[in-house]
Structure 1
């Protein structure tokens, strides 16, 4: 696996995912830091062992489990992005693409700190149980909860990875009904005995993880994986307080309840376990604390396998206990590497002769060699083998001739079975049974449930050559309003809506102004993206009317030059609007605009604004001036003048009064009476 990892560095899987460096290694797969070249984001790529990649049953189950895990949208679940098979000249590579977490695992934290404080242990366990609760609600069981599968990233975020992978590997042809996969230190008793696993099995494993966080070590250890598995099915997990002082009795009782050998007395699922955990935490007055990021900051992902090291043991297969209800069963042990109980392993339930009522630990437990056969028995056996070989050869020749004739006749053809109404998995199995290849196509449907086959192409009963493809049209459920980015063209939005089996419509009242989206481009869809609708239901496309109207600014009282500059800054085109009287502003200042200030104008169609200046005349104080001088000033300003003398005698007397008070603004043409003394 290690040499293969070096060869894969720089490889591009299915022309999209670039493999960079190996970051973790195990007996069933290797994990690499890679890059999604299409989206330009770092990802973790798990490449399966070649033994698994060549197993059709494993690939089918891996695809199904990956699809199920990808539907888990929870902040404490490692995201599954993609799954596929890269076909290369040297063989197929099955792989998973997942969220890349930069940090480490809970195992790294335990190595660094040993036993954890009670508040820290509960702060780690709560997101683990929240992730499992989401999985259990989706009818998905993890089957391999352990510190290596708990990731801790930046900011102390806790996430659980490897959902469904153990189930996929267990369904491969590389294992059988007598083999179980898992990590012996965390396997539930029912997994050891029968391979059965449900939500309560995850509860047991999570309880053991809590025990290890509180005490610094798992409850069971041994020289062999089998001896550890034996303890799970025959011993009760002790209370953590027996290993460490100061653990509250309520927390002791919670660990013991979660790790009972009888699944029926454990919390029913992770949701129930999480509820009890929060109740205990509240009763003890314990508040959440930050989770420390592992100190080495090594990028690690999918910690079913520890970061690649030279001394990592391979996944091993050992014989295991078959019956835990009637006491222990001792078995003959195959040679294995003593790697300890932490790695993911396969265990075999076959070859289990009953011996002493104790776990296998010494050479005395090994069975004696059988007696050697006599010369007569050997000769007789040899003759029987020769006759059997000739019988097999003749049978094969006859079968070969008959089979060839059958194949050249009707044997090459097969009939498309009835597939409509089957689940996708069942339909694929039916096609494989008929020597046909399934090609999956999805489309929305109002009546057929999700993941159920609507029809096949060719249709049921059609005669096709063996090995040909049959298209399975699978229901996606009710059509869903697609996501259309703001700024997309109307044509693109309508195509996306029609592709989703919905009907695009337009409504002028739905259109709106937008400062960011160009005129005529899409602002939004109504109903919102993600809404489930009946096939053909209308979806309104709202378009941008361009930038919103701009109000005419208030420029009254400004000079003409300042008003023009402000209007141009806002996208308007100022023009001369003449003069008008304004009692508020003196001559030469802006009296008003046309349209008035505050009027909203669409600068794409209407940009001209007339600027009207004030022609008001502000009268000075004429007292003491000669009547001739005052009269001239008034006439120059366009005003009418009438001079009156109190005592006639002089033609050009001094002004002692005026009919309009000084400082008053008047219209051009206004009559002003000046009063002189002489």
Structure 2
């Protein structure tokens, strides 16, 4: 007989946390709604079952859970605020408890039970937020190990709809410190267990990817891929069967989405994405390829009855958590759904998981039929109850009609005839003509309550690169581009100088405004680098002072870098600059000026040789002259010629007579 844990409602834990209503009860702990009396805020309090209080190893595991979960700070992870021990019931055996963020809303299981399969935008939006949470966990070295709809909470997020919060990191273990569970026990929920968890107990980030793939499959089809009468039969199929494509169950699911699910659920772990960050990138790529926008997540109404635990027959040696009054839905597949603890001996046979043995049928004793009159009364009563059950479970639901391709007026008529309320929104689309319906949310074939709102997405046609004014901020440009369902990009290499647009503001877009594009195309924002830099002016041939003034006028700081010979520039005039003319250094840069040291060669032809030599030497030249053959000689030729420019210290050759 199952033992019931006494309620803690009304207790004050650690002189701070007041316990209120029971929210859920599992095999190892109970979760209550509570209040942090110090901060006056609502919280969820998870209290370990009293029968484990004396188990040191279990207490240690509970503490590890707190530390592991507290390391994660992410908008899609249920936050852990505190951890402690309650001694009010038994000071010798204190009960551990966790204080967590209270998420008001329901679970993904509630949403699937309520709606059946989810439409593609909603399924991808939920999977994206779950993967984002897991990416943070994997980056911190943590593996969840029990991803399932019951652990995906959907809290109320105001005007933006529900927000996904991944809960119960109670089975996580630091991936860096250990890779397996106990050698003899498999922990997890059998419908979502990866093949390696079943076969060897190995648990890595890729195991979470597999479970997320099964989760996405269930959202798209309304059921898990494998079901069976026992946990063992389901585990067998995880190891030996390939997960089928979702489109084999729901025709019309895009091939890219099939591929995403199949890649996440490969039996070979190495063939899956390495971690949630990589899977998230693939999911977002598929989402962009399909032109799927982020959907508003509805918050399902959770069942009134708290979840309680029950034990399955001893030969199954497992424990699962189920709702006290399970929801009935035509989309739910049979088979065990809660967290399982399977003995490995049941699933290992010479390294291969064999098919489960059929269980012998059990005879159910038959009772004699009651009196005819009593039977008639019972039948009448059952008929009334059956009608009520039909109304509250199925009678209130209608099928969402197909409105894709219709005009606004046609879609509104079809939905109102189905007793649904249309709500219209618009978005860009690559192929749907403007004014026609792209899709509905929920999509056609889904079940909805009579009177429910159905979002009808109308096409605005293909996106067009927006006309963003020159001088606008980058943020303005990004908003305008995203409004067209295009992706803005800022690239420093594409930035350009502009004399009129301030530095950092938008000059233009590439492709140019008005260009037709596809949803998700990239538009580059060209930013201004400010006025174009002034080039170094050509000051060659100017005097030193003239050159310095010209450089200052151009915004540079000139300095004399040295002397340099040029046969074409007079002494004291500029030969060149460094940086050279035409280059564009930063305003205010120093520019070196090289001044010519050329000397004009004196003309000495016709002069007496001795006097000619003296003149040339005084001018700074060396002289080579023919030896005079008489008392007086005259220069008849010189090289270089007089009047030319030569380098100081160079040689002038003279020819003399006699």
Pick the TM interval, shorter chain: 0.3 to 0.5
Query: What TM-score, normalized by structure 1, do the two folds share?
Result: 0.47
Query: What TM-score, normalized by structure 2, do the two folds share?
Result: 0.48
